[in-house]
Amino acid sequence: MSDLFAILQKIEARPGLYIGRASVSDLFMFIIGYRTAREELGIEPIKAELDFYGEFQPWLQKRLKITTSNSWAKMIELGCGSEKEAFERFFRLLHEFLQDSDRAIARSAIVKGECKPY
């Protein structure tokens, strides 16, 4: 089974195949479902996934200077004119998040195998 970042790479390339359309809110729901399914199957998340699940939203709030209890998807949508634009912005922000020096361990896990670093 692929890790979250391998799946995200595939979704970025072909969103219609995986989530129906290029939509940040649909992507958010997919990620929630992916995480839940892996938990139900007893599959432990890798370090990079744990970093994303626990740190992406707080990082994004700081990055966008937003204080809210809304999801990261809603925060990204605020500055966009469409779901597609927000979808594309998510991947730019994810790349920035993973480039942060505090995530060196996560990046090394992502670049193993077939995954490209975001």
Domain map (residue ranges) of the chain: 4-110
Q: Kindly give the residue spans of alpha helices, DSSP state H, lying in 1-118.
A: 4-13, 15-19, 24-40, 47-64, 72-78, 83-99, 104-110
pLDDT digits (tens, 9 = 90+) for 98-107: 887 565 545 5
- Residue carrying the six token digits 């432990």: 44
- The candidate with the shortest Cα–Cα distance to 81, out of 8, 24, 29, 14, is 24
Residue 118: the pLDDT is 44
Q: Which of 13-27, 69-83, 94-108 has the lowest mean pLDDT?
A: 94-108
Query: pTM for the complete prediction?
Result: 0.82
Residue 18: the pLDDT is 96
**Which of the four pLDDT bands, split at 50, 70 and 90, describes residue 47?**
confident
